[in-house]
């Protein structure tokens, strides 16, 4: 769910990511993704729901599409940790059942690479376990020029992904988020817990996330004009030690703190582009664990 790394910068350019995602083993997966996306869009009518809420890139936000609205998020994430690289293309579909209740599915296509020193590079590509999620915005207060809201979110992976990439047991997540949006300022906070179910004696460490963000709209624009908002996230993660056969790995887990500068651009009230970089500031590793490096993410959102 969150991966990163250090090492050579040979893989950091946009050209590398483009080449990586469109190699022959990956193109067949993109064909599958394209067919599913086009099929869903073709049967969903354009809605008259409100325009997008402005949400940070890496954390949970209390947004909901609105009753009858359909959101599609297409994202690319590239992260590094030690000698490992992880690039992920994810397609997410969200539907608003009521004004405050939404649910959906996300399907991630991932490529993992290892660059061991003095050894041959290895890699694998495949579809990871899809995520099913539901979100309930239980508090929503509108005031002149601003809006307050809070939501809870539950999510779980379905263990049907490629066996070379995905775990045979689900991951479970529960979280809560609070947000304030005004014409100029945004404030948000969240708390999440990620639990990994033991898989044949192997269990990655559970994770606790606590995040906060502040956003600024430098200039107020019209509804159909290009709108820009800048966000700065503050991300904390506590990762427990992984386990094998009930024995904890002393060289895994730790406490991590990141800052994440981001930009949100809305060419219209039906399209939004979000991008950011997560920068590690503090890492308290257990044992000889590997340090995390930058994580890059860009998201294209459309509403129907």
pLDDT in tens, 147-170: 999 999 999 999 998 888 888 999
Q: What tokens appear for 47 in the block?
A: 């809605």
Describe the crossing of helices 24-43 and 14-21 by its angle, rounded to 10 degrees. Answer: 80
277 vs 80: CA distance, rounded Å: 12
Residue with tokens 């991932």: 110
Q: How confident is the model at residue 89 (pLDDT cuts 50, 70, 90)?
A: very high
Q: What is the pLDDT of residue 221?
A: 81
pLDDT of residue 64: 84
In the structure encoding, which two tokens stand for residue 90, read together? 């994810």
Tell me what pLDDT residue 80 has: 87
Residue 29: per-residue pLDDT: 54
Tens of pLDDT, residue by residue over 36-48, are 444 444 444 444 4
Q: Between the CA of residue 59 and those of 33, 41, 288, what are the distances in Å?
A: 25, 26, 28
Considering the segment(s) 14-303 as one domain, its CATH architecture is Beta Barrel (2.40)
User: Tokens for 75?
Assistant: 């994202």
Q: Is 103 exposed, middle or buried (0-12, 13-18, 19+ CB in 10 A)?
A: middle
Query: pLDDT at position 119, please?
Result: 77
pLDDT at 28: 52
Q: Which residue has the higher pLDDT, 269 or 93?
A: 93
pLDDT of 73 reads 94
pTM exceeding the 0.75 threshold for the entire prediction? yes
């Amino acid at each position: 769910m969150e991966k990163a790394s250090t090492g050579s910068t040979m893989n950091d350019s946009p050209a590398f990511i483009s080449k990586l995602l469109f190699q022959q083993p990956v193109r067949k997966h993109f064909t599958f993704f394209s067919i599913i996306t086009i099929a869903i869009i073709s049967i969903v009518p354009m809605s008259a729901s409100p325009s997008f809420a402005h949400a940070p890139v890496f954390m949970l936000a209390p947004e909901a599409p609105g009753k009858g609205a359909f959101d599609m998020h297409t994202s690319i994430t590239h992260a590094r940790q030690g000698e490992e690289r992880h690039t992920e293309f994810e397609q997410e579909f969200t539907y608003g059942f009521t004004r405050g209740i939404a649910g959906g599915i996300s399907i991630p296509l991932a490529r993992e690479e290892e660059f061991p020193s003095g050894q041959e590079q290895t890699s694998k590509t495949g579809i990871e376990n899809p995520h099913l999620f539901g979100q309930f915005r239980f508090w929503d207060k509108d005031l002149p020029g601003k809006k307050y809201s809070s939501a809870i979110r539950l999510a779980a992976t379905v263990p049907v992904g490629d066996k070379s990439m995905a775990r045979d047991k689900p991951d479970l997540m529960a979280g809560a988020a609070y947000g304030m949006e005004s014409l100029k300022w945004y404030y948000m906070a969240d708390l999440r817990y990620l639990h990994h179910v033991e898989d044949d004696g192997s269990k990655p460490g559970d994770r606790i996330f606590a995040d906060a963000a502040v956003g600024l709209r430098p200039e107020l624009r019209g509804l159909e004009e290009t709108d820009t908002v800048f966000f700065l996230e503050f991300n904390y993660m506590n990762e427990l030690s992984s386990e094998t056969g009930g024995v904890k790995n002393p060289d895994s887990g730790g406490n991590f703190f990141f800052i994440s500068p981001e930009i949100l651009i809305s060419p219209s009230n039906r399209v939004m582009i979000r991008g950011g970089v997560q920068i590690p500031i503090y890492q308290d590793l257990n044992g000889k664990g590997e340090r995390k490096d930058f994580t890059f993410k860009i998201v294209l959102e459309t509403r129907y």
